[in-house]
A = this chain, B = another copy of it.
Amino acid sequence: MSNPSGLELEKQPPSPAPAADVEGGPTAGPGAGSSGFGVSSVLRRWRREDLMRKGSAVLRALGLVFSMLSFIIMASNNHGDWRQFGKYEEYRYLLAIAILSTLYTGGQCYRQFHQTYTGKDLLPLKTAALIDFVGDQIIAYLLLSSASSAIPLTNRMREGADNIFTDSSAAAISMSLLAFLVLACSSVIAGYKLSTQSYL
């Protein structure tokens, strides 16, 4: 840092010229005194934002994979007699939430691809950040709730009989839990984006 009073400037800019230096992007000239601080801070922010964008894209793609697996495993869990998922409200709930989560994460992945290839988002910036955070958080809560409600039933069934039906149920529950973990991480990133966007 070339300017010794750089920290002071950050707290309360006393005059317009240093303020422009602190917030300065790559357009600030080389003779601008404290411009090195501004450029490196902006570069650091860009790098962090790039990492976060990639991170949340990967997390949502993983969420899509896990919730689709949960959906497919539970939907094909029909083996006649009492071994049908439709006879238990917990499994119907798990299936419904897995479908919802598949649709949501699928939509998010589509938006991400659209943004990567066309370079613009389908939604305005502020709405997008809000929808990302609220959506991730609510889907994470729903996934956790459905998995938690299905676990005791499966446990109790497995005490009596351990067959393909209970194994498939356990697999679907695990996939829902993994999808929950992934979306919980994604919601933390989305919350960070939502909190800091007004300072951009």
Contacts and interface: CB of A to CB of B under 8 A. Distances in A.
Interface of A is mostly: helix
Contact of A141 (B19, B155, B184): B184
Interface string A186-200: 001001100110010
Interface in A126-177: 137, 141, 144-146, 148-149, 151-153, 155
Interface in A17-31: 19
Nearest to A88: B152
Interface stretch (A7-15, A99-107, A114-122): A7-15
Contacts of A33: 15
Q: How many copies does the complex hold?
A: 2
B152 A90 contact: yes
Contact-residue bracket for chain A: 20 to 34
A38 B16 CA distance: 11
A38 B15 contact: no
Interface in A25-48: 33-35, 37-38, 42
A49 interface: no
Contacts of A148: 144-146, 148-149
Nearest to A134: B188
27 contacts: A12-B42, A13-B34, A14-B35, A15-B16, A16-B16, A16-B34, A19-B34, A89-B152, A89-B155, A141-B141, A141-B184, A144-B144, A144-B145, A145-B145, A145-B148, A148-B149, A149-B149, A149-B151, A149-B152, A152-B152, A191-B191, A191-B192, A192-B195, A195-B195, A195-B196, A196-B199, A199-B199
